[in-house]
C-alpha cells in the first residue's frame, strides 16, 4: 500500500494480459444489468410501454409477476401491517431469488445507488483522496436493527422516510424533485468523507440483503489462489475488501477458497482485475480446504 | 459484534469505546428518524389520500411507496410525494383543486395496491371517505351572496345527497331566496369535484379531513325528536307535564312560543317551512300566498 503513489492503475496488468474487454467483463455485464432494469421501469412512463409498473419497493411485471422488497415489507410487518396476497408472493419470489444468486447481488447488479457510489469510489481513486475517517463495516447492521425496532415503535415504515435507494429510483421514474440532493450528498460523502462509506458501512438495505444471502450457493471463489502474485489489485477494487483475505490467503490455515463472507456483493470486479485469473464464480459447496491439487490438475490440462 | 475476544485490557477498552461510539451514532440517527416519523404523521389538510386509504397513522405503516395506485389512476389524479413535498416521501396523494378524484366504479387504485394501505374491502366508490366537503367561506360563496352559481352542487357525483341546496330567505333584499349549498357528511366521498370547480379565485368549498371538519356528539347524547320518532310517541306522559305560567304581559304574543299545555305554537316571523304559520307579507315563492 505504501508504494501506491508509483503503482500502476488498478487492473492495468489484467488489461495487458486479458485485453480491455476481458478485464471489464463483469463490470460491463453489471452496468448492463443495472441500466436495463432501470430502462424497463422507465419504458412505461417515458414511452408508454408498460412492461413493469411500480418501483424497486414493489413492481408488477406484465400483470403477472409481483416483486416486493422484503426489507420494506418486513418494516411494514413490524409496524403491524400485513401486505395483500400479491405483495406477499412478491416477497417470497424476491427472497428466493436473492438467496439463490447471492443476497447482495441486489446491491451490485440492481441498486441504482451503486452507480453513484462506484463513481465516487472511482473518482476518489483518480484524485488520490485518502481519508482517515472510518466507521466499522458492522455499523450497517446496527442501522438495520434500529430501523426494524424503530418501525415497530413508531408504526411507520421507518427507513423509507429517508432511504436514498428508493428516493433515487422512485425519483427517476415518478419525477426526481429534491431527491437529487440526497443522491449528491451520498456521492460527496463517499468521495470526500469516507471511502465506500455508504454501501460498505451504513446502508441497512445492503445489510439486510447480506443476511438474505448468508447461505447463498453462488459465490466468488479464489480457486486459483496459489497463482496469486500479491499485486493487491483485487483488494483495491473490491467494495468490501475485508471479505477477500480469508479465502485468498486461507491455504495455510485450511480455509477453503470460496468467499463466504455475506458482505461480498458478487460484483465480480476481482475476477476482472486479476491478471492471474485467480477468481471465478462458483458454488459455495465446491470449497476444498486445499486448492493445490486443483491447480496441479489445471496445469496438466 | 464479538467476532474475536479482545486480548488485552487496552484492546478491550478500545472495543468498548468503538462499540459505544457506534451505538451512540446509530441511536442519534434513530432518534432523529423517530421524531421525523412522528412529524410525518401530520398530513397537510389539503393533501388527500386515495379512496379506501387507512387513517394516516396506519397508512404510513402499511404503504410501501410503490406507486402502483398512481400508475393505475386513469385521470392522473394521484401523485407520489417528492422529498420536498409536505407529504411523507413516496406516498400517494392528490390535491382536489388540481385534479379531483373521478370516482371510477371499478376503483383501480385500490385494486392495484399490494398492501392493505388502501382497503380492498372498499368495492363501492360511493362509500369512500377521502375527506368531507366543507363550505368553508360563507362570505365569498356566490350562493351566499344571493346569486345562483350552484356549480359545486351541479358537479357533485352524489348530487342531491352529498350536496343539497337549502332555501333561506335573503335577509339583505328581503324579497329573494338564497340557495345555500349544504354538505351531508354521510353521503360525501371527498372526491373534490366541488372544490375543483368552485368559480372563485380561491375555492369557498374545500375537502377537509373528517377529523378537522366534523364535530362529534358525546356518546351519551340522545336527540329528543329522534328518540321520540323511534318510540312512536312522546317518551313522557305529557298530560302530567307541569306548565309554569309564562309571565307575559297581558295580551302579549311571543312569536314562535310553544305552549305545551295547549300544544299551540305562536306564528313566527321569517323561517320558511317551519311549523309556525307564515307571515302573509312574505314575497311570492317563499311561502306567501301568490
- Give the pLDDT of residue A292: 67
Q: How confident is the model at residue A228 (pLDDT cuts 50, 70, 90)?
A: confident
Domains and CATH numbers, chain B: 44-128 (3.30.70), 131-208 (3.30.70.20), 254-280 (no CATH)
* Contacting residues of A for B67, CB less than 8 Å apart: 53-55, 170, 173-174
Which of A83, A150, A170 is nearest residue B115 as measured by Cβ atoms? A83
Check pLDDT > 80 for residue B279.
no
CA distance B143 to B159: 16
Q: How confident is the model at residue B59 (pLDDT cuts 50, 70, 90)?
A: very high
Distance (Å, whole) CA A287 – CA B232: 87
- Choose the closest CB to B84 out of A143, A151, A177: A177
Given a contact cutoff of 8 angstroms between Cβ atoms, the answer to whether A291 and A251 are in contact is yes
pLDDT band at A301 (very low <50, low <70, confident <90, very high): very low
Percent of chain B with pLDDT over 70: 87
Strand partners, A53: A60
Q: What number is the average pLDDT over the span A24-32?
A: 93
Tens digit of pLDDT for each residue in B216-266? Answer: 889 999 888 888 899 888 888 777 777 776 666 777 777 777 766 677 777
pLDDT above 70 covers a percentage of chain A that reads: 93
- DSSP 8-state code for residue A3: T
Mean pLDDT of B207-224: 89
Tell me how far apart the alpha carbons of residues A123 and A207 are, in angstroms, rounded to a whole number: 25
When mean pLDDT is compared across A13-22, A28-37, A167-176, A266-275, the lowest value belongs to A13-22
User: Is B68 close to A58, i.e. CB distance below 8 A?
Assistant: yes
Q: What is the per-residue pLDDT for A148?
A: 94
pLDDT for B167: 92
- Give the pLDDT of residue A136: 83
Residues of B in contact with A44 (CB under 8 A): 71
- Collect all residues of chain A within an 8 Å Cβ-Cβ radius of residue B68: 53-54, 58, 60
Q: Do the strands A52-55 and A58-61 form a parallel or antiparallel pair, or are they unpaired?
A: antiparallel
Residues 106-165 in A contacting B (C-alpha not used; CB under 8 Å): 135-136, 138-139, 142-143, 146-147, 149-151, 153-162
- Whether pLDDT at B282 is above 70: no
Our CA dihedral for A170, A172, A176, A179, rounded to 10 degrees, sits at: 60
Determine the pLDDT at residue B275.
Answer: 46
pLDDT of the residue at B138: 92
What element of type H or E holds A94?
helix A85-101
Q: How many Cβ atoms sit within 10 Å of the Cβ of residue B44?
A: 12
Instruction: Say what the pLDDT of residue A175 is.
Output: 87
Kindly give the pairing relationship between strand A52-55 and strand B79-80: unpaired
pLDDT for position A5: 43
pLDDT band at B76 (very low <50, low <70, confident <90, very high): very high
What backbone torsions phi and psi does residue B53 show, to the nearest 5 degrees?
-65, 140
Q: Which comes out higher in pLDDT, residue A46 or A251?
A: A46
- H or E element, residue B254: none
Which residue in chain A has the smallest CA separation from B82? Answer: A177
Mean pLDDT of chain B: 85
So what's the pLDDT on residue A132? 61
d(CA A97, CA A213): 10
From the list A219, A200, A204, the residue with the least C-alpha distance to A101 is A219
Q: What does the pLDDT read at residue B193?
A: 95
Residue spans per domain, chain A:
51-212, 217-300
Confidence of residue A293 (pLDDT cuts 50, 70, 90): low
- C-alpha distance from residue B278 to each of B171, B253, B272, B282 (Å): 16, 15, 7, 8
Whether residue A81 contacts residue B116, with contact meaning beta carbons closer than 8 Å, is answered with yes
Residue B67 region by backbone torsions, left for phi larger than 0, else alpha for psi between -120 and 50, else beta: left
| DSSP class of B94 | B
**pLDDT > 90: percent of chain B:** 55
Is a pLDDT exceeding 80 seen at residue A3? Answer: no
Least confident residue range of A22-36, A151-165, A273-287, B131-145: A273-287
pLDDT at A284 over 50: yes
Give the model's pLDDT for residue A295: 54
- Chain A hits for B29, Cβ within 8 Å: 143, 146
A222-250 mean pLDDT? 87
> Which residue reads 443476511 in cell numbers?
A211
Weakest-pLDDT range from A147-156, B96-105, B237-246: B237-246
Q: Per-residue pLDDT averaged across A52-76, rounded?
A: 93
Of the candidates B36, B83, B117, the beta carbon closest to that of A179 is on B83
Q: What is the pLDDT of residue B6?
A: 52
Across B39-59, average pLDDT: 89
**B176 vs B254, higher pLDDT:** B176
A139, B22: Cβ pair inside 8 Å? yes
A25/chain B closest Cα distance in angstroms: 33
Q: Tell me, yes or no, if B88 comes closer than 8 A to chain A by beta carbon.
A: yes
Give the single-character DSSP code of B204. Answer: S
> Using the beta-carbon criterion (under 8 Å), do A60 and B23 form an inter-chain contact?
no
The predicted model gives A93-111 an average pLDDT of 93
Amino acid at each position: 500500500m505504501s508504494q501506491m503513489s508509483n503503482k500502476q492503475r488498478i487492473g492495468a496488468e489484467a488489461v495487458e494480459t486479458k485485453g480491455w474487454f476481458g478485464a471489464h467483463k463483469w463490470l460491463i455485464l453489471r452496468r448492463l444489468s443495472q441500466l436495463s432494469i432501470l430502462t424497463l421501469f422507465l419504458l412505461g412512463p417515458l414511452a408508454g410501454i408498460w412492461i413493469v409498473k411500480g418501483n424497486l419497493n414493489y413492481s408488477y411485471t406484465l400483470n403477472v409477476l409481483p416483486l416486493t422488497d422484503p426489507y420494506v415489507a418486513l418494516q411494514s410487518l413490524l409496524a403491524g401491517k400485513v401486505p395483500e396476497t400479491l405483495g406477499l408472493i412478491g416477497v417470497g419470489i424476491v427472497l428466493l431469488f436473492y438467496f439463490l444468486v447471492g443476497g447482495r447481488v441486489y446491491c451490485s447488479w440492481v441498486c441504482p445507488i451503486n452507480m453513484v457510489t462506484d463513481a465516487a469510489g472511482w473518482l476518489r481513486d483518480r484524485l488520490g483522496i485518502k481519508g482517515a475517517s472510518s466507521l466499522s463495516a458492522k455499523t450497517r447492521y446496527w442501522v438495520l436493527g434500529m430501523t426494524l425496532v424503530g418501525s415497530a415503535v413508531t408504526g411507520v415504515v421507518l427507513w423509507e422516510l429517508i432511504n436514498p435507494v428508493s428516493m433515487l429510483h422512485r425519483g427517476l421514474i415518478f419525477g426526481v424533485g429534491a431527491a437529487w440532493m440526497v443522491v449528491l450528498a451520498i456521492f460527496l460523502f463517499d468521495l470526500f468523507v469516507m471511502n465506500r462509506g455508504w454501501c460498505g458501512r451504513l446502508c441497512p438495505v445492503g445489510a439486510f440483503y447480506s443476511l438474505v444471502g448468508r447461505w447463498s450457493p453462488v459465490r466468488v471463489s479464489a480457486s486459483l489462489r496459489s497463482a496469486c502474485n500479491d499485486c493487491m489489485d483485487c483488494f483495491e477494487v473490491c467494495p468490501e475488501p475485508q471479505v477477500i483475505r480469508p479465502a485468498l490467503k486461507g491455504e495455510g490455515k485450511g480455509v477453503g477458497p470460496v468467499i463466504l463472507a455475506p458482505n461480498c456483493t458478487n460484483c465480480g470486479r476481482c475476477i476482472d482485475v486479476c491478471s492471474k485469473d485467480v477468481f471465478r464464480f462458483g458454488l459455495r459447496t465446491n470449497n476444498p480446504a486445499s486448492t493445490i491439487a486443483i491447480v496441479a490438475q489445471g496445469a496438466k490440462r | 459484534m464479538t467476532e474475536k475476544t479482545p486480548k488485552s485490557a487496552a484492546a478491550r477498552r478500545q472495543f468498548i469505546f468503538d462499540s459505544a461510539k457506534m451505538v451512540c451514532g446509530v441511536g442519534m440517527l434513530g432518534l432523529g428518524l423517530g421524531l421525523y416519523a412522528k412529524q410525518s404523521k401530520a398530513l397537510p389538510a389539503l393533501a388527500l389520500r386515495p379512496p379506501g386509504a387507512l387513517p394516516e397513522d396506519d397508512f404510513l405503516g402499511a404503504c410501501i411507496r410503490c406507486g402502483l395506485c398512481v400508475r393505475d389512476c386513469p385521470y392522473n389524479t394521484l401523485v407520489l410525494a417528492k422529498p420536498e413535498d409536505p407529504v411523507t416521501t413516496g406516498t400517494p396523494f392528490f390535491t382536489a383543486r388540481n385534479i379531483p378524484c373521478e370516482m371510477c366504479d371499478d376503483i383501480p387504485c385500490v385494486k392495484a395496491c399490494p398492501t392493505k394501505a388502501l382497503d380492498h374491502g372498499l368495492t363501492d366508490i360511493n362509500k369512500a371517505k377521502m375527506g368531507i366537503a366543507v363550505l368553508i367561506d360563507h362570505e365569498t360563496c356566490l350562493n351566499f351572496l344571493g346569486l345562483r352559481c350552484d356549480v359545486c352542487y351541479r358537479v357533485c357525483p352524489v348530487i342531491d345527497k352529498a350536496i343539497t341546496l337549502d332555501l333561506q330567505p335573503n335577509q339583505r333584499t328581503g324579497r329573494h331566496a338564497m340557495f345555500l349549498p349544504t354538505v351531508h357528511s354521510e353521503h360525501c366521498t371527498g372526491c373534490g369535484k366541488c372544490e375543483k370547480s368552485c368559480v372563485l379565485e380561491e375555492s369557498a368549498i374545500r375537502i377537509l379531513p373528517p377529523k378537522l371538519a366534523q364535530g362529534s356528539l358525546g356518546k351519551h347524547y340522545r336527540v329528543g325528536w329522534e328518540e321520540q320518532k323511534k318510540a312512536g310517541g312522546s317518551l313522557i306522559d305529557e298530560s302530567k307535564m307541569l306548565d309554569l305560567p309564562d309571565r307575559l304581559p297581558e295580551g302579549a304574543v311571543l312569536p314562535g312560543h310553544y305552549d305545551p299545555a295547549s300544544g299551540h305554537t305562536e306564528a313566527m316571523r321569517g323561517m320558511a317551512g317551519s311549523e309556525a304559520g307564515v307571515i302573509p307579507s312574505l314575497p311570492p315563492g317563499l311561502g306567501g300566498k301568490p
